[in-house]
Amino acid sequence: MSVSVEGLRSFMALLSDDDIGLFVSTGGFTKDAQELSRAKERRKVTLVDLERFFDLWVEHYGKLEDAARRKFPLQPIYFLAPPNRFHPNGHPGLRFGWHLRRGTASESGIES
């Protein structure tokens, strides 16, 4: 379930004027909550939804200690992909992604 603007205001009420908050929600945030977080000059809050959390995890995965990696293990995968409009020449090519080893979730931060 998405965090509403009221939920974000409740979180922001806990911050002092010069604090910076980090609000992580696997359900994302409503449009109003996103707009509020961007509009605040004091008590700034960075919103992190599940997609952004996953992107940050992948980006910093190599720098994590083994204990942290075991909590949310990733396994790199490589595959050939058909031509698509995003490839510079429209040719098939090797793609790279990540797969969560736990549960049924999988992600593919595809790169050319």
At 66, give phi and psi (nearest 5°). Answer: -55, -40
Residues 6+ positions from 95 with CB-CB distance below 8 Å? 78, 79, 80, 81, 108, 110, 111, 112
| Each residue's pLDDT tens digit, 26-44 | 899 999 999 999 988 788 8
pTM: 0.62
The mean pLDDT of 30-59, rounded to a whole number, is 90
Domain boundaries, the chain: 5-49, 52-100
Closest CA to 36 of 3, 9, 56, 17: 9
**76-100 pLDDT tens trace:** 776 666 665 555 555 455 555 655 5
Computed over every residue of the chain, the mean pLDDT equals 78
Q: Is the pLDDT of residue 7 over 90?
A: yes
